[in-house]
């Protein structure tokens, strides 16, 4: 049996949801708010980093979104996500490494401090009222 602890806005969790959908794997969902429930001692036993996603497979927790993707592809080889040849596989791993080591890390401070915090969500404007980033930067510089 598969279970996924995740949160709606989390890009890391979205990666895993897409993989589960592509592979058509039924699973039980545990939707986290990240408003404090990630620090619940019971959850931190599953994921000591207090983040989502966490996949549980037959009672065993697997953490780190990219590790979860590789795990799913190995444990459930039907409808593979990885390409076949070694060169294409290396390119896929390189792409994942880039996302893990640069993109996620660059976004972490911003998202932990704003997007997942309840105060921010309460005051958030609808997307249509927000300025594009480049225009917001331009405004603050002038």
Footprint of ligand GSH on this chain (CB under 6 A)?
10-12, 34, 38, 51-53, 64-65, 104, 108, 112, 116
Residue 3 or 64: the one with the smaller Cβ distance to ligand GSH is 64
- What is the C-alpha separation between 51 and 111, in angstroms, rounded? 12
State which residue, 94 or 131, has the beta carbon closest to ligand GSH.
Answer: 94
Residue (40 or 74) nearer to ligand GSH, CB: 40
- CB 29, min distance to ligand GSH, A: 15
Name the DSSP letter for residue 49. Answer: T
* 53 vs 72 by CB, closer to ligand GSH: 53
Residue nearest to ligand GSH (CB): 51
CA distance 61 to 21: 19
Print the SS3 string covering 12-38. Answer: HHHHHHHHHHHCCCCCEEEECCCCCHH
Using alpha carbons only, how large is the chain's radius of gyration in Å? 17
Q: How far is the CB of 64 from ligand GSH (least distance, A)?
A: 5
């Amino acid at each position: 049996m598969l279970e996924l602890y995740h949160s709606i806005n989390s890009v890391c969790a979205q990666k895993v949801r897409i993989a589960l959908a592509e592979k058509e794997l039924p699973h039980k969902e545990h939707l986290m708010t990240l408003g404090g429930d990630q620090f619940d001692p019971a959850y931190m036993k599953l994921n000591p980093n207090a983040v989502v996603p966490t996949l549980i497979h037959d009672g065993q927790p697997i953490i780190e979104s990219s590790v979860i993707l590789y795990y799913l592809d190995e444990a459930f080889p039907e409808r593979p996500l990885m390409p076949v040849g070694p060169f294409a596989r290396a390119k896929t791993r390189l792409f994942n490494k880039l996302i893990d080591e640069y993109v996620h890390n660059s976004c972490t401070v911003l998202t932990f401090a704003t997007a997942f915090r309840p105060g921010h969500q309460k005051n958030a404007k609808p997307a249509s009222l927000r300025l594009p980033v480049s225009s917001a930067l331009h405004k603050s510089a002038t």
